[in-house]
Amino acid sequence: MPELAAYTDRWRSVSRSTARPQVPLTELIPPHVTVLVPWVAEPTDTDVARLQEAVSSVRPFELSFPTAGQFPNGTAWLKPEPFDQVRAVLQAVIEAFPECPPYGGEFPDPHPHLTISSAAQGGANVVAEATAALAATPAPTVQLTELGVWREDAAGVWGQIGAVPLGR
């Protein structure tokens, strides 16, 4: 959801990845809500067809991010709404790929979110700033019409390699 960058980059541009602490999040990956990671390393047409089938009954919908929160490790995030609908998309994809446990099995029931600050950069302060920003301006919104398929390169930069439309 690169269209959210104008809203989220105020936090993401000063936040760093634990894997690449010298590089801002904004240079590694655009704003997004992770559906399933790790996914298939080298997706085949069959894998993409399975992904398409998993989201075939999901119609495009408007996604907004009206609240901020923080995980126990300090990662600050924006909550996607309608949350239950986003969670249902995650669950459908997770069920379609049982060989790819979310986060390598570390978080088997992931909480959908858009990371705005990694654990080491600000945590509660970033949540307070985001909460104030959300109170002062309308929540950022996007029309969700597809799931992007992304791959991380050797330098830790993520690039989109495909997309699967919703509702087909």
Residues 25, 115 contacting (CB under 8 angstroms): yes
The average pLDDT across 107-131 equals: 86
The class level of CATH for 2-165 reads: alpha beta
* Nearest residue to 92 (alpha-carbon basis) of 52, 123, 61: 52
Q: Which two tokens stand for residue 31?
A: 């704003």
Farthest CA pair distance, the chain: 46
pLDDT over 90 (residue 155):
no
- Distance separating alpha carbons of residues 112 and 84, to the nearest angstrom: 9
pLDDT digit string (tens) for 40-90? 989 999 999 999 999 999 999 999 999 999 998 888 999 999 999 999 999
Instruction: Provide the whole-model pTM.
Output: 0.91
Residue 143 contacts residue 62 (beta carbons within 8 Å): yes
Three-class SS of residue 40? Answer: coil
**Domain assignments of the chain as residue spans, ordered by start:** 2-165
> What's the pLDDT tens digit per position in 19-42?
777 888 888 889 999 999 999 989
